[in-house]
Homo-oligomer: A and B are copies of this chain.
Amino acid sequence: MNYRFDIQYDGTRYGGWQRQKTTDNTIQGKIEEVLFRMTGSPVLIQGAGRTDAGVHALGQVANGHFDSRMSCEEICDYMNHYLPEDIEILRVSQVSERFHSRLNAREKLYRYRIGIGSHKNVFERKYLCPLHETYDVEAMEEAAGYLTGTHDFRSFCANKKMKKSTVRTIYEIRITELPKELQIDYRGDGFLYNMVRILTGTLIEIGRGSRKPEEIQAILEGRDRGLAGFTAPARGLTLVEVGY
């Protein structure tokens, strides 16, 4: 049977989503451990988004094949009982054998949260990246306009040896001003390694005035990571939703 998991986590303590050989301090590793305990045999799961160390999720999706006589609700309760308190299975559902959480994903929504102003936010500090300067939202929105659409995003990819296509489509970049917070939502068909964080770093540099919005076109055309802005810290980033 093929099960789908909808998952929420605070990524602060973890080395990212993807299980590694050297450490099991990953979200995938923690979930697979619990599934092994439950089924008695190793279970591999696939996550829709391979979030980096420190990145959070409100709606990560994963799937895995195994057999169980428990109901979906019982599996969900079992998993939450044994998972650490910063990982939560929101829902378990049985899906078609062919469902693959990453390959079937049609779109993803990532949110980057920037804390504005001179005051820290002591309660949400692990989910916000602070920005102390004033910023120009109009310039950021203009730059976001250049980034939206189908482009080769090689300049925004941290993997320099990427052999596969670096063409992606961003459907929307929405910038929302909240009290003491700026949120940037990225909706697209897929994102390259560190792409959302590099897009955010570049938008922040434009917002600060150290770059101009029009530079985006040259950055995209140059197909060179060195042309884009800094990689914004992981803590501000959350995988909000995966669409199928």
Interchain CB contact under 8 A, B85 and A118 = no
Q: Is A144 an interface residue (CB 8 A)?
A: no
CB distance from A175 to the nearest CB of B (A): 22
Q: Is A182 an interface residue (CB 8 A)?
A: no
Counted per complex, copies of this chain come to 2
Complex CA–CA separation, A130 to B99 (angstroms): 34
Q: Is A32 an interface residue (CB 8 A)?
A: no
The listed residue (B56, B80, B118, B127) touching A120 by CB distance below 8 A is B80
Q: Is A125 an interface residue (CB 8 A)?
A: yes
Interchain CB contact under 8 A, A85 and B125 = yes
The listed residue (B77, B87, B118, B125) touching A118 by CB distance below 8 A is B77
The listed residue (B80, B121, B122) touching A87 by CB distance below 8 A is B122
Q: Is A34 an interface residue (CB 8 A)?
A: no
Interchain CB contact under 8 A, A85 and B8 = no
Q: Is A186 an interface residue (CB 8 A)?
A: no
The chain B residue with its CB closest to the CB of A125 is B85
Number of interface residues of A (CB under 8 A): 19
The chain B residue with its CB closest to the CB of A76 is B118
Interchain CB contact under 8 A, A10 and B88 = no
Inter-chain contacts of A119 with B (CB < 8 A): 80, 88, 90
CB distance from A166 to the nearest CB of B (A): 32
Interchain CB contact under 8 A, A120 and B88 = yes
What are the interface flags for A108-152 relative to B under an 8 Å C-beta threshold, 1 for contact and 0 otherwise? Answer: 000000000011111101010000000000000000000000000
Complex CA–CA separation, A127 to B80 (angstroms): 19
Q: Is A214 an interface residue (CB 8 A)?
A: no
